[in-house]
Amino acid sequence: MDAHERLKTVETAKLEAAIAQIVSEATGWQYSCNISEIEYGELGRANLKVTLETSEWLNASVKQD
């Protein structure tokens, strides 16, 4: 299987979960990820439209001095 076909076999849900996990670990807030568009190019290349969302800011406490 060539790189182009191999890329197409990646499950979108697994990719969304992996991206959300990495962003959540990097920021310390829980994020969800949604991939709404995938445009496959040549040579194993793809352009993705990714939306990241969090509701964690609702839980952030405001410190008062």
In whole angstroms, give the CA distance from residue 61 to residue 11. 37
What pLDDT, on the 0 to 100 scale, is given for residue 62?
47
Judge whether 64 lies within some domain.
Answer: no
User: pTM for the whole thing?
Assistant: 0.76
Judge whether 63 lies within some domain.
Answer: no
What pLDDT, on the 0 to 100 scale, is given for residue 36?
95
Domain count, the chain: 1
What pLDDT, on the 0 to 100 scale, is given for residue 65?
47
Per-residue pLDDT of 2-38, as tens digits, reads 877 888 898 999 999 999 999 999 999 999 999 999 9
Residue 11 corresponds to which tokens in the numbers above? 């499950």
Range of the domain at 22: 3-55
Which neighbouring-strand residues pair with 35? 50
* Cβ-based neighbours of 6, under 8 Å, separated by 6 or more: 44
User: Given a cut of 50, is residue 48 above it in pLDDT?
Assistant: yes
In whole angstroms, give the CA distance from residue 18 to residue 10. 12
